[in-house]
């Protein structure tokens, strides 16, 4: 089957490659309809690795996907041919201790799409476990369905924050994940999200959403603006979603006494953390790694119409132009939030 294959660093090719096509018990076969290009896809493409995960042999990219079921395996009763679906891309060992504790995202044996050596979903058809495949509501398009994966990251972060209605949140970073965290936080009931970045184009997109207050930290200090907007108290929750090492300097100046800091973005190297700054506020520190048990609620939230993702789809390419799509996304244009590939 033809797929988008990463051959080596900075070299992609649309070519034939052997992929599983038989639908086994408990599995479904899905015709892909839309796939988003994630920052991790770009990182593998540009650098060849993320942390300990190195691309050592040709690999199909893509893990943000939606499609339509074309076959169902034995024992599958909750899905049928023709269903429009989004797929959770991490397949754990369901008998592992982590999975039995409900922490299947932390299972060391998890097989996650487009994480070496596991192939991703930028291929016309894919076979996937039915219990990790979820129906999309009629009002949710395939392109919006491909957003379920990054939005699930935002939902996981909000879960860890234990948000209360009316609270104030800060989101550091206005990229795709920052936007997902902000929209999930607003849906969870925060009164406003103060979103920081240095790119005015992305801040302009964020500012188009009711409840998001954009702050350009190349012009004003984040702590000064947060103090101004909270009468000197600080934010109830601070989400670090940029992954920038610079974001950790002064991060506890943003949070209120007894507040929470949720670490979402992954820095490329070790960072210094102001432990005393956290202690004197008794700030709670939470971390997330992907997500677990949030896909159904994420899809229901999209179906409710309370989140509009359409303004975040910056550019769409047909599958035949997948290489050009990655070259475009790799440019990192500040006005681009999400690039998607459609079949």
| Residues 8-42 pLDDT 10s | 999 999 999 999 999 999 999 999 999 999 999 99
pLDDT value of position 325: 98
Same domain, 204 and 127: no
CA–CA gap between residue 178 and residue 26 (Å, rounded):
35
Give yes or no for a contact between 110 and 129, defined as CB atoms under 8 angstroms apart.
Answer: no
Same domain, 207 and 269: yes
152-205 pLDDT, tens digit each: 999 999 999 999 999 999 999 999 999 999 999 999 999 999 999 999 999 999
Give yes or no for a contact between 199 and 192, defined as CB atoms under 8 angstroms apart.
Answer: no
240-276 pLDDT, tens digit each: 999 999 999 999 999 999 999 999 999 988 999 999 9
Same domain, 48 and 141: yes
Show the CA angle centred on residue 174, arms to residues 170 and 179, nearest 5°.
Answer: 80
CA–CA gap between residue 132 and residue 73 (Å, rounded):
14
Cis omega (within 30 of 0) on the bond before 117? yes
Same domain, 53 and 26: yes
Same domain, 315 and 276: no
84-132 pLDDT, tens digit each: 999 999 999 999 999 999 999 999 999 999 999 999 999 999 999 999 9
Same domain, 174 and 238: yes
Give yes or no for a contact between 341 and 34, defined as CB atoms under 8 angstroms apart.
Answer: yes
CA–CA gap between residue 179 and residue 151 (Å, rounded):
9
Same domain, 211 and 333: no
In a domain, 294, yes or no: no
Number of independent structural domains in the chain: 2
In a domain, 267, yes or no: yes
51-90 pLDDT, tens digit each: 888 999 999 999 999 999 999 999 999 999 999 999 999 9
* Count of positions (residues) in the chain: 343
Give the range of the structural domain holding residue 133, as residue numbers without chain letter: 2-147+309-342
* Tokens coding 252: 């506890």
* Tokens coding 302: 């999209």
pLDDT value of position 268: 85
pLDDT value of position 50: 85
CA–CA gap between residue 66 and residue 172 (Å, rounded):
28
List the CATH number of the domain containing 259.
Answer: 3.40.50.720
In a domain, 302, yes or no: no
pLDDT value of position 269: 86
In a domain, 122, yes or no: yes
pLDDT value of position 259: 98
In a domain, 191, yes or no: yes
Arithmetic mean of pLDDT, 331-335: 94
pLDDT value of position 332: 93
Q: Is 29 helix (H, G, I), strand (E, B) or coil?
A: strand
């Amino acid at each position: 089957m033809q797929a988008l294959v990463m051959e080596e660093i900075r070299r992609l090719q649309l070519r034939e490659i052997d992929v599983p096509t038989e639908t086994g018990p408990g599995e479904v076969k899905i015709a892909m309809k839309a796939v988003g290009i994630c920052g991790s896809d770009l990182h593998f493409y540009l650098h060849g690795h993320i942390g300990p995960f190195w691309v050592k042999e040709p690999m199909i990219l893509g893990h943000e996907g939606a499609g339509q079921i074309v076959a169902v395996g034995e024992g599958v009763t909750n899905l049928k041919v023709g269903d429009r679906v989004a797929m959770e891309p991490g397949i754990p060992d369901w008998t592992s201790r982590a999975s039995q504790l409900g922490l299947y995202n932390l299972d060391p044996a998890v097989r996650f799409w487009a994480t070496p050596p596991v192939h991703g979903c930028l291929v016309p058809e894919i076979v996937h476990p039915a219990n990790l495949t979820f129906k999309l509501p009629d009002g949710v398009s395939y392109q919006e369905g491909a957003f379920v994966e990054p939005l699930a990251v935002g939902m996981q972060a909000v879960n860890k924050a234990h948000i209360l209605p009316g609270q104030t949140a800060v989101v550091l970073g206005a990229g795709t994940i920052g936007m997902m965290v902000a929209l999930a936080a607003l849906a969870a009931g925060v009164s406003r999200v103060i979103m920081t970045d240095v790119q005015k184009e992305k801040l302009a997109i964020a500012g188009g959403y009711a409840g998001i207050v954009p702050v350009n930290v190349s012009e004003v200090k984040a702590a000064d603006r947060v103090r101004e907007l909270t009468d000197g108290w600080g934010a109830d929750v601070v989400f670090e979603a940029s992954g920038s090492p610079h974001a950790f300097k002064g991060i506890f100046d943003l949070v209120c006494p007894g507040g929470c800091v949720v670490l979402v973005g992954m820095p490329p190297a070790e960072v210094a953390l102001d432990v005393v700054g956290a202690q004197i506020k008794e700030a709670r520190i939470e971390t997330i790694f992907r997500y677990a048990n949030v896909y159904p609620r994420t899809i229901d939230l999209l179906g409710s119409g309370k989140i509009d993702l359409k303004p975040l789809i910056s550019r769409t390419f047909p599958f035949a132009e997948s290489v050009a799509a990655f070259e475009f996304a790799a440019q990192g244009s500040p006005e681009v939030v999400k690039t998607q590939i459609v079949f």
